[in-house]
Amino acid sequence: MTANTPAAHPKAGAREWIGLAVLALPTLLMSLDQSVLFLALPALAESLRPSGNQTLWIMDIYGFLMAGFLVTMGTLGDRIGRRKLLMVGAVAVVLTSLLAAYSASAEMLIVSRALLGVAAATLMPSTLALIGNMFHDPGQRGRAFALWASCFMAGTALGPVIGGLLLEYFWWGSVFLLGVPVGLILLVAGPLLLPEYKDPAGGRMDPLSVVLSLAAILPFIYGLKEITKYGWAVVPTVAALAGVVIGAVFVSRQGKLHNPVLDVRLFRNGAFTAALTIQVVIMVAVAGSYLFITGFLQMVENLSPIQAGMWMVPSAIASIVAAQLAPALAKRMSTATVIAAGLAITAAGYALIAFVDPAGGLPLLVTGFVISFFGIGPIGALGTNLIVSAAPPEKGGSAASLSETAGHLGTAIGIAVLGSLGSVVYRSYVAVPAGLPAADAEAARESLEGALATSHDVAAEVGGRLLVSAREAYTNGLNVVAMVCVAIGVLTALIAMTALRRRSAGGDRPGEAKPAPEAGRPIQPAES
């Protein structure tokens, strides 16, 4: 080898590939968590009797805090060591999973889910960064990241089945215990198979930025959720506006820091910003529709958890198939065209769901959901590549963390906003029979879960009339949510066809966008 010949990248061996399997476990766990909780919701509601508002907090507080801490935890891992942070996160996941599984009240479960969200945020950035440390050969690294990404899709497919099996034979808290074996395996295998890495130029953590990021996200989402449910009351409106203002302060501060928690200069790249926007917005539709579809299967079609889980598998398989086809299609046509076509297909699938009836609606519901998830496959396969490749190599981990944050934030917003919208529609249509005790009548008006619980406590004839009305009202909510998802599919398809295609026409092929400005420009640290 001459002096001018570049050294070959070292190949990863068996230890690295086994280590990748270990890193795949928390990825699988994160994708399982939300889908199994959707299935557990009816049993959970009957046991803990949460209010409609508490039910939404149980569902979305995990995603709020995980999204809020992802980028911060990526920076913390660079500072203290990525494997060390992964080990700390594994301990936290085990403890918070146990706390959630044995929660004795709705309030306790909300707190447990919040702590579990923070714990989960320590896992994902460390996992991505360690894969980059373990696989130096470009071909092997690409396969490693592809396998890592496929775990999300596999988790989506397995989640309903695993959750259904657990709920068929155990109590609702069993779905949270999945985190215990995963955490224990990480604690045992991590030190043996995973390398430690600290970025020598990682810089110090800016505590004020961490506080500002949470102070922006949480009030904003809270305000949206309450406005959707109760209208433009003073408190939620002020909370949402406060979140926007604090978010602006956070972004401004990041532009002044030498080592920011979020490098806002990445957003100057059009392909990066467009792909990230599509990920956030489409996940709003996915999460919001998933919430109501799982509820329809169990509470309207009266399927058992395992039966409902099996009916969800075809949609996940469709998404995996589309994701595998997308890279090949992108070689024949532009990436923007593949993503836009997929999102248009998604809109068509949701249009079918908008016409589902409470009686005999199962075939149309499943068909629409399979079509919509097939359309989402390309953005899952190509979108992350667009985001990561838009950043310079030293910012790849930060860009990947932003991709994760976008997905989780979109999920949280979808559950909050579309969940609240569906609840508003339900309350507008449900007819509660006269003569019920006040508490039972209020529970029935609040949610279909409450109506089901109330129907067990009243005369059969009264309970039957209540259930017919409640199921029709819930289906109306599903239809309205599906119509919103149609609009989201059309909107994101337009973004892909315009913003991403413009980047291609301007000389930057999507997925090979120009890197963001170098991080080394002179910036003075801001004072806290």
Give the tens place of pLDDT for each residue, 369-380.
999 999 988 887
Please provide the average confidence, as pLDDT, over all residues in the chain.
Answer: 79
pLDDT score recorded for residue 365:
95
Encoding tokens for residue 11? 């190949």
Rounded mean pLDDT of 448-458? 81
C-alpha angle 384-255-491 in degrees, rounded to nearest 5: 40
DSSP 232: S
Using 50, 70 and 90 to split pLDDT, how confident is the model at 389? low
Query: Which pLDDT does position 488 carry in this prediction?
Result: 95
Q: Tell me what percent of the residues of the chain surpass a pLDDT of 70.
A: 85
What tens digit of pLDDT does each residue of 258-299 get?
A: 778 777 877 888 888 888 899 899 999 998 898 899 889 988
Give the start-end residues of each E strand in 403-445: none
**493 falls in which pLDDT band (50, 70, 90)?**
very high
Which residue in this structure is represented by tokens 């609702």? 172
- Write down the residue that tokens 């979808």 correspond to: 414
In whole angstroms, what is the distance from residue 24 CA to residue 408 CA? Answer: 18
Confidence (pLDDT) at 507: 42
| CB neighbour list of residue 399: distance below 8 Å, 6 or more residues apart | 266, 272, 387, 388, 390, 391
Q: Return phi, psi of residue 19, to 5°.
A: -60, -35
> Which residue would you say has higher pLDDT here, 401 or 275?
275
| pLDDT of 142 higher than 80 | no
In angstroms, the Cα distances linking 65 to 51, 307, 404 are 21, 31, 13
d(CA 407, CA 70): 11
Give CA–CA dist 190/195, Å, rounded: 8
pLDDT value at position 518?
39
AA identity, residue 420: S
Rounded alpha-carbon distances, angstroms, from residue 92 to 177, 290, 343: 13, 28, 37
- CA-CA distance, 243 to 365, in Å (whole number)? 36
Kindly report which listed range (41-55, 460-474, 493-507) carries the lowest average pLDDT score. Answer: 493-507
Q: For the residues 345-360, what does the mean pLDDT come to?
A: 94
Q: Using the predicted structure, report yes or no on whether residue 164 has a pLDDT greater than 90.
A: no
CA distance 279 to 386: 11
Does position 448 have pLDDT exceeding 90, yes or no? no
Q: Average the pLDDT over each of 1-15, 18-32, 117-131, 365-379 and give the range with the smallest value.
A: 1-15
More confident residue, 223 or 286: 286
Query: What's the rounded Cα separation, in Å, for the pair 480 and 250?
Result: 35
pLDDT-derived band of residue 69, with 50, 70 and 90 as boundaries?
confident
pLDDT of residue 509: 40
Give yes or no for residue 506 having a pLDDT over 50: no
b/e burial code for range 302-330 (CB count within 10 A of at least 16 → b): ebebbebbebbbbbbebbbebbebbbebb
| Highest averaged pLDDT of the listed ranges 178-192, 300-314, 387-401, 471-485 | 471-485
pLDDT score of 481 = 95
Q: What is the pTM of this model?
A: 0.75
pLDDT band at 317 (very low <50, low <70, confident <90, very high): confident
pLDDT at 364 over 90: yes
| pLDDT greater at residue 271 or residue 364 | 364
Q: Show Cβ contacts of residue 487 under 8 Å, excluding neighbours closer than 6 positions.
A: 347
pLDDT at 355: 95
Residue 314 pLDDT > 60, yes or no? yes
What's the average model confidence in pLDDT over 177-184?
86
> What pLDDT band is residue 413 in, cutting at 50, 70 and 90?
confident
Q: Which of 149-158, 232-241, 255-264 has the highest mean pLDDT?
A: 232-241
Number of other residues whose CB lies within 10 A of the CB of residue 460: 8
Of 226 and 406, more confident: 406
What would the mean pLDDT of 464-490 be, rounded to a whole number?
92
Q: Is the dihedral of CA 401, 70, 239, 412 positive or negative?
A: positive
Contacts of 424 (CB under 8 A, 6+ apart): 228, 229, 477
- Number of Cβ within 10 Å of residue 121's Cβ equals 29
CA–CA gap between residue 481 and residue 420 (Å, rounded): 10
Q: Where are the beta strands (DSSP E) in 13-153?
A: none
